[in-house]
A and B are shown apart, each in its own frame.
Chain A
């Protein structure tokens, strides 16, 4: 019995760790979308954050400065999208896609010489005293890399900002009804720039946390679609931070499943041998992506029933005095 408990604990703990980068990216995108701008460039910003952070850590030897640089690079990238979609009123879908292409290509150019680097300093691991000693729960939540705890802190803070503060209210107003927000003196353009930038910072943080802590290395296309998964999780989360956290950690657990299954204890009917069949791993690797499709289907059904939905002005450029919304 305890074998199974250890196995499940391992899966869940790995899920919390490997879901952390996608959590940062999801929260970031959530801010941008709450302000009415959809940014499909998350994948590109994550890649750029990951590669620049890894480069800085490798050359300067300080993972904390590297983390900061990764964040800033993600933020700067997002300003390109902000310029195109907010000021130039370009199509947000295509502009975001362009950002992902730029990020994927540029990160590959920058990271060309980094693919064999294995000794870049990483962010430290930290077992929380006392809490980490709790059986099972301590292992799942409190024996991780420091970056994981930043995720724990960020979720309630994000919720509080969005739902309980004046800036959060202004942000939502800009995303739901920019013309009304404008009429009471809220600067729609400035706020949209701000929250797209916040989204970029957090996407950069997501990438940097991958290359400095969770995966710690650089390979081409390191994120493997996690930026896109963040975009799906925002919808699943109904634009709320707590559900975003749930979705991210669940995704993390599913993403790690093919690896974790290799350590599965003996199961009845020799099921563990089937689970460990190398050919099955191809299907196990599909699971995170199928999982996102599944949660999107569930979320859209729910949205139809409860009449919930995206911020009303999501994806629509605001043009002063030109139309109602």
Chain B
């Protein structure tokens, strides 16, 4: 008791963490920026500990990802094109995660749903439709197959969650591994090109159009391989934003996510909504997989994703589950991936991803709470009598 009071006398301040009553807009815009910068600093410290110069690493990443203004003036747009290529699957998978997380559905299975989407799109392109099918049938058919396959792959754990209460995090995660083995069976087995770990090349009609194909009209586009998948992603972002904001379905997702008890009393069908959200979420991730095989590599092989489905979780969270935010953050992380190819060892990007997410998660306290340093109780009591806020 006496020890306590002596400390209080010598140092009559204490730190209090209070819940914010207001939620100022400047803070919700500023805080992600501050948090990312903070994460880069923490990541930089980690990098120097393992013997990599953070300044060299960061400047290399940035230059590879976005180019330089001088380069843009010379017509060097390929860094932006490359970043767009990586941003495309992150955007679609990020939307997938954001939708599910909005309803507190922890779908960690975007990676597996992406893989299954790629599998289904490949099946349509190589096995189901003949190579002379025109592109305007081929591409939509592949999209539909990828969406449905990814969607069903998300709906199964969704149904287990809705009707049996099975933990969604674990089931979706396990299905990621199952999907990888499933794909490998086809890649090394029935669909394999002479036993190698890849399929034959897709027919041209199954390729998503790329910028370089318009080089005859606009010579600046020559050699740029960004593909139409980004348009699918932007369209999906718009639709999702509209549905979440304007429709009854979007409203129900918000209510169920915020307060499932209230939603139940309001007569909302929670099970049906879980199933539907997981179906759409899986479908969006499936489209991301289709974009990779149909837009980028035009074959089906084992390494189609360096963990897009996992990075998508960080993307969605950093974007505060907002579809337009996902667009922005997907580009940022697309850049990080492009830049990451330039530096060794490979794990640096993955580590930075984790650090960013950590700082963002921990730093959210900044948004919901405020830290105040005030004088200790004995001192403040008299002040409180004067005017408490």
B171 at the interface (CB under 8 A from A): yes
Binds B, one of A180-188, A225-233, A241-249, A266-274: A225-233
Q: Is A99 touching B175 in the complex (CB atoms < 8 A)?
A: no
Binds A, one of B140-148, B223-231, B249-257, B341-349: B341-349
Q: Is B50 touching A110 in the complex (CB atoms < 8 A)?
A: yes
Using known A-B contacts A98-B361, A282-B181, determine if residue A296 contacts B166 with beta carbons closer than 8 Å.
Answer: yes
Residues of chain B in range 23-77 having any CB-CB distance to chain A below 8 Å: 46, 50, 52
Tell me, in angstroms, the Cα distance from A220 to B170 when the chains sit together: 22
Kindly report which residue of chain B lies nearest to residue A94, judged by CB atoms. B361
Q: Is A300 touching B348 in the complex (CB atoms < 8 A)?
A: no
Q: Is A105 touching B167 in the complex (CB atoms < 8 A)?
A: no
Question: A residues within 8 A CB of B386?
Answer: none
A279 at the interface (CB under 8 A from B): yes
Using known A-B contacts A282-B181, A282-B182, determine if residue A102 contacts B170 with beta carbons closer than 8 Å.
Answer: no
A153 at the interface (CB under 8 A from B): no
Tell me, in angstroms, the Cα distance from A95 to B349 when the chains sit together: 18
- Greatest chain B CB density within 10 A among A88, A110, A279, A290 is at A88
Question: A residues within 8 A CB of B361?
Answer: 84, 90-91, 94-95, 98
B314 at the interface (CB under 8 A from A): yes
One of B160, B313, B347 near A220 (C-beta < 8 A): B347
Question: A residues within 8 A CB of B313?
Answer: 94, 97
Tell me, in angstroms, the Cα distance from A105 to B314 when the chains sit together: 14
One of B108, B166, B181, B349 near A105 (C-beta < 8 A): B349
Q: Is B362 touching A88 in the complex (CB atoms < 8 A)?
A: yes
Kindly report which residue of chain A lies nearest to residue B190, judged by CB atoms. A279
A107 at the interface (CB under 8 A from B): yes
| Interface bin, chain A | 35 or more
Q: Is A232 touching B348 in the complex (CB atoms < 8 A)?
A: no
- Greatest chain A CB density within 10 A among B50, B160, B178, B365 is at B178
Question: B residues within 8 A CB of A95?
Answer: 358, 361-362
Task: Give chain B's interface secondary structure class.
Answer: helix
Task: Give chain A's interface secondary structure class.
Answer: helix
Question: A residues within 8 A CB of B364?
Answer: 88, 90-91
- Greatest chain A CB density within 10 A among B106, B165, B354 is at B354
B294 at the interface (CB under 8 A from A): no
Q: In whole Å, how far is B368's beta carbon from the nearest beta carbon of chain A?
A: 8
Tell me, in angstroms, the Cα distance from A319 to B181 when the chains sit together: 44
Q: In whole Å, how far is A56's beta carbon from the nearest beta carbon of chain B?
A: 15
B7 at the interface (CB under 8 A from A): no
One of A89, A101, A285 near B353 (C-beta < 8 A): A101
Question: A residues within 8 A CB of B52?
Answer: 109
Question: B residues within 8 A CB of A100?
Answer: 354
Please, what's the 1-or-0 string for A273-289, where 1 marks a CB less than 8 Å from any CB in chain B?
Answer: 00000010011011001
Question: B residues within 8 A CB of A108?
Answer: 345-347, 350-351
Q: In whole Å, how far is B60's beta carbon from the nearest beta carbon of chain A?
A: 16
Q: Is B174 touching A279 in the complex (CB atoms < 8 A)?
A: no
Tell me, in angstroms, the Cα distance from A52 to B171 when the chains sit together: 29
Please, what's the 1-or-0 string for B200-221, where 1 marks a CB less than 8 Å from any CB in chain A?
Answer: 0000000000000000000000
B185 at the interface (CB under 8 A from A): yes
Q: In whole Å, how far is B331's beta carbon from the nearest beta carbon of chain A?
A: 19
A112 at the interface (CB under 8 A from B): yes
Q: Is A104 touching B354 in the complex (CB atoms < 8 A)?
A: yes
Q: Is A94 touching B317 in the complex (CB atoms < 8 A)?
A: yes
B357 at the interface (CB under 8 A from A): yes
Q: In whole Å, how far is A188's beta carbon from the nearest beta carbon of chain B?
A: 16
Q: In whole Å, how far is A215's beta carbon from the nearest beta carbon of chain B?
A: 17
One of B160, B354, B365 near A90 (C-beta < 8 A): B365
Task: List, sorted by A's number, 19 A–B pairs whose CB atoms are closer than 8 Å.
Answer: A83-B362, A90-B362, A97-B357, A99-B354, A101-B310, A101-B354, A102-B355, A104-B350, A105-B347, A105-B351, A105-B354, A108-B346, A112-B344, A279-B189, A282-B181, A285-B181, A293-B174, A296-B166, A300-B165
The 6 closest A-B pairs by CB, nearest first: A108-B347, A105-B351, A101-B354, A105-B350, A102-B354, A98-B357
Residues on B facing A (Cβ under 8 Å): 19, 46, 50, 52, 106, 108, 157, 160, 164-167, 169-171, 173-178, 181-182, 184-185, 188-189, 310, 313-314, 317, 344-355, 357-358, 361-362, 364-365, 369
Residues on A facing B (Cβ under 8 Å): 40, 44, 80, 83-84, 88-91, 93-95, 97-110, 112, 220, 224-225, 228-229, 231-232, 235, 279, 282-283, 285-286, 289-290, 292-293, 296-297, 300-301, 303-304, 322
Known: A83-B362, A89-B369, A108-B345. 4 other contacts (CB 8 A): A90-B364, A228-B170, A286-B178, A297-B164
